[in-house]
Amino acid sequence: MNVDLLIYNIGQLILPRFCSTPLKGDQLGQLLIKENAAFAVKDGLISWLGNSDEIHNFIAIKKIDAKKKVVSPGLVDPHTHLVYGGSREQELALKQAGVPYLEILANGGGILSTVEATRNTTEGKLIEKARKHLETMISFGVTTLEAKSGYGLDRDTELKQLRVVKKLNELYPISIVSTFLGPHAIPLTYRGKEERFLQKMTSLLDDINTEKLAEYVDIFCETGVFTIEQSHKFLLEAKRKGFGLKIHADEIDPLGGAELAADLGATSADHLVAISDEGIKRLSDTNTVAVLLPGTTFYLGKDQYAPARKMIEAGAAVALATDFNPGSCVTENMQLIMSLAALKLKMSPEEIWNAVTINSAWAIGQEAESGVLDVGRKADFVIWNIPNYQYLPYHFGVNHAASVYCGGKLIWNESRILSD
């Protein structure tokens, strides 16, 4: 059999299971590990999967001896704020002094300071900056991710951010799902006129559709930002126009964002640190994925993490993401998130691997393309410098990726990005 690529002598091949819905409850802890494995790639797709002692009939353009290393699907990061101007290192001292984020926001800091920087940065400079962050994500094993706007809060800058994401999708072989997060904060000029601002953001939906700039919309539903009623109105209109729905929900206060996500059939509800028991129940009754962001809680120095165990035991679908952004989680490292999920969310290695592959793919509508290695699916995978799949969450703070492949092509090796 003639193939383009043959990977053999795999110590452990991680095989998350694809179902007709996201993995929920006990399913999240079920992970197939195939030892002494091998697989073949042809035309960017996996054409065969089996054992290393079965490869003698293959004629491959390239063969790779995995040397008993672990191989997994490429990681999926379903919540990032990839494109922005400037940085906010000066706020770290405020956080260390215990100043609440909403207070920083109220004084023009936080999101609003990034908005100003993003407005003042050209599209070309935003592309240049975002490429560095994106290539770092790839180096940590990410082959599919979501990228939000939300640092414009006006027509021109929001569209500029979304166009940058579209350009990045053209420049790189990985998959980037675009989300319009215009209602990310309330500009100072719209304080007390939130409805007018929300109407302004809603008016962008037709332009975004026309240019095909985003698959999803999102809104920050939180105390001091947008109410449940305002979020419902915005999301309902976006759904009517054909967008998928996501929501920043119940991060600080249990406002009912999870319940709203369930009611509207949102693809995901994200953050959920303060989710109520009713919110957990409602999510468990739906296929809305709970995207948990332990890196944000860690970076903000808080003690209360999203109740992952309660969610899993209740039967909810759980995924993990970095929430990479310049203010509340400044890391592109999904491997670090996996460690935090073990240490702070008390998730098992099996749950973690499912949560960063197939369930994260479900959280951004990429379940048919990403998160699973199987015959006929795109050959996005990572070869890891680890002895077994349990090792990665255990040994934290370093990069365990040896090489990253997208569509069967090497895109990163040890510490080198390879241009397509």
Tens digit of pLDDT for each residue in 204-230?
999 999 999 999 999 999 998 999 999
Give the residue with greater pLDDT, 185 vs 357. Answer: 357
User: Cα 291 from chain centroid?
Assistant: 8
pLDDT, position 417: 54
Cα separation, 200 vs 11, in Å, equals 54
Q: Distance between terminal CA atoms of the chain?
A: 27
Question: What are the backbone dihedrals phi and psi of residue 335, each rounded to the nearest 5 degrees, phi first?
Answer: -65, -35
Per-residue pLDDT at 418 exceeds 60: no
pLDDT band at 94 (very low <50, low <70, confident <90, very high): confident
CA 415 to chain CA mean position, Å: 22
The residue among 319, 317, 356 whose CA lies nearest residue 334 is 356
6 near 337, Cβ under 8 Å? no
Confirm if 341 and 333 have CB atoms less than 8 A apart: no
E strand or H helix that includes residue 47: strand 45-51
Alpha-carbon distances of 255 from 37, 242, 248, 250, 361, rounded to whole Å: 48, 26, 11, 6, 27
Q: At residue 254, what is the residue type?
A: P
pLDDT digits (tens, 9 = 90+) for 171-192: 999 999 999 999 999 998 998 9
pLDDT in tens, 365-403: 999 999 999 999 999 999 999 999 999 999 999 999 999
* pLDDT score for 95: 76
Contact assessment for residue 179 and residue 188, using Cβ atoms and an 8 Å cutoff: no
- 101 vs 99: CA distance, rounded Å: 6
